[in-house]
Amino acid sequence: MDLSLNEDQRDLRDLVREFLEKEVVPHRAQWDRDESVDTSIVPRLGELGVFGFGIPEEYGGVQADFFTYVLVMEELGRADSAIRGIVSVSNGLVAKTIAAHGTTEQKEQWLPGLATGQQLGCFGLTEPGNGSDAGNLATKARRDGSDYVLQGEKIFITNGTWADVALVFARTSDEGPRGVTAFLVPTDAPGLTRTEIKGKLGLRGQATASLAFDDVRVPESAVLGEPGTGFKIAMTALDKGRVGVAAGCVGIVQACLDAVVEYTGERTQFGKPIAGYQLVQEMIADISLDADAARLMVWRAADLIDRGEPFRVAASKAKLFASEAAVRSSNLAIQAFGGYGYVDEYPVQKLMRDARVMTLYEGTSQIQKLLIGRAETGINAF
């Protein structure tokens, strides 16, 4: 395997990094304090093309392989994980799922806006009583003539109050996972209430919301894919989504490494830079190892996707390792910064807060271990 980047990939990575260093990094601390990014950044990111990766060019998308997508996700995670979440949910979970399973009419309706950042999407799967147990959804969609009527609640929905369309998974029969259907629901539909969740530990700059469906009526044409295939659609989206999250975690680890190397090279104690002390270098070495190992696991998963080979287990391994590495590395970064790491004048405390949720969403670390264990043994754990 050739692990070098080609010229186009390097140029794109550098272009995205330059934009983020200028337009995101200087504002991320204030956006974190405000619990909201300046949403004017969204269409500007759209102009950069990051919302269009993997979307057909005829709908305003950008031709790019999945490997290129994860390079960009790493850069977004390095700059601000809140921005990475906005992009990866709208593009990776929603737009790409519409591109893969939508009708021509659905693609024409939603993809041009999503691919350019003029519109945002959110992924309505998690419920107050159902997180890891996604096959046991309580939200229901009953048939009423040629329409469906949705009743239920979703929670922890990224982009929830900003999105123009919600990809919602609801139960249309009592057949377990086979009874789940996917719907494209305009967020201005009567009966849909969106409430932003404040006071989060991390990812404070992105809108996270609960969605309440009180007899929300949608036409049959809102069904994405075939009725009863929603669970499979959701799991397929999350398999690739986990690689995107893992790439963002690589960005967190790299940001920790960059910050620690710079700070410890400048900070002096006992007459010399603290980077010259053995135990500080041990922390730097541990972060550096996590960065390389996590990046290689993400690249392997992306390579499998691009070659059309099975990648589910590789995605789980990448997501598990990279998310836990982000937590470890950000904790070490704060230790290296000492008391200064505990205040938001410096970036490492935000990196730690943003890293923590990565082990929870799009499949907890425990769920990833179960998936890996099942693949190795052929036995469903209980």
171: phi then psi, degrees, rounded to nearest 5: -85, 125
- Contact between residue 231 and residue 134 where contact means Cβ atoms under 8 Å apart: yes
Report strand pairing: 147-158 vs 165-171.
unpaired
For every residue of 203-237, which 3-state class applies, written as one string? CCCCCEEEEEEEEEEEEHHHEECCCCCHHHHHHHH
- Per the DSSP assignment, residues forming a β-bridge with 157 are 209
Strand partners, 302: none
Q: Please choose, from the candidates 132, 47, 39, 52, the residue with its C-alpha nearest in 3D space to the C-alpha of residue 92.
A: 52
> Is the separation of the CB atoms in 246 and 297 below 8 Å?
yes
CA distance 49 to 353: 28
Strand ranges for 140-203 from DSSP E:
140-144, 147-158, 165-171, 180-186, 192-196
| C-beta of residue 359 within 8 angstroms of C-beta of residue 252 | no
Residue 74 is a catalytic residue: no
Query: Could you tell me how many residues make up the chain?
Result: 382
Residue (of 302, 297, 308, 299) closest to 368 by Cα position:
297
CB atoms within 10 A of CB 209: 24
Marked catalytic residue, from 74, 75, 127, 362: 362
Residue 158 contacts residue 207 (beta carbons within 8 Å): yes
**Taking the CB of residue 2, how many other CB atoms lie within 10 A of it?**
5
Residue 293 corresponds to which tokens in the numbers above?
């190992």
Decide if 182 contacts 225 (C-beta within 8 A): yes
Residues facing 148 on adjacent strands: 143, 218
Catalytic positions: 362
